[in-house]
Structure 1
Amino acid sequence: MTGRREDMPSSVSGKDMSPFDRFAEAASSFASKAWFFALCVLLILLWAPSILIFRDIDTWQLIINTATTIITFLLVALLQNSQTRANEAVQHKLNAIADGLADLMEAHSEDKSRLAQDMIELRDAVGLEHREGTRG
């Protein structure tokens, strides 16, 4: 296989992750649990009767609107980070599969010109000849 070890799919996550990436991964894992949804529902259930304390409908609505906007804004940023890294991992895996397949095709193409042409098309389609990895 022509792929270098550092370009392998396993290098997309793990110890090479920045502190922010690790935090985003933990937040994504936290937010994807059923009990996080239950916590959000509990927040709404606690907020709803607070109308009796505030009496002013604008203040009451401002509290939930502000809280949900801040939470949503932060979670979108964190989840986007996790999604981007997941997409990179999938791309690395696909590149490794295509690279391995192209190497296999090349090894068996000496006597089969059609297979050699297919290998060239695969390498061109995936960009195996010109890429140095999907990481910038």
Structure 2
Amino acid sequence: MSVPPIGCCPHARLQNLVTVSGCLTELNDYALAFHSMISALLQSLSSQLRGMIYSLGDTYTMTSIVLKEPLAFGIENIEEACCGSGLLDAEKPCYIADRPNLCPNRSKYLFWDLYHPTQYAAHLAAITLFTGDPSLVAPMNFSQLVQASA
């Protein structure tokens, strides 16, 4: 799997000096570069290693789609953490000893804490990785990969 737009996680948004509601572009640029490099590496390896099959999930694009149209996925909050403290609930981690704020419905949030997706968001990603089309999982989805390796 590639790296999602890490510049859009709540903690990165706090680091953005332009506006708290915006993503940190530099981190997202690194994530995009990683996807390009890992894709090229896997293509090269598969041409050199006879019989090698693989699948690369583009979590950057998957997450970007959710960020652009969150309501289409039932997500209402793409900026704040569901569990944490401070601005965007992203200034302090979700430690029970710190008495963090907890959102009323975690399935309506993209992020559980400063960095990680909620269980609901991870579920959406898993379904996409297993059944998605080549624009999101290439050269085949995980279901096809399992069948090809059997």
User: TM above 0.5, one fold?
Assistant: no
**Highest Rg: 1 or 2?**
1
Q: Which has the higher helix share?
A: 1
Structure ranking higher on relative contact order (CA contacts 8 Å, 6+ apart): 1
TM-score by length of 1: 0.29
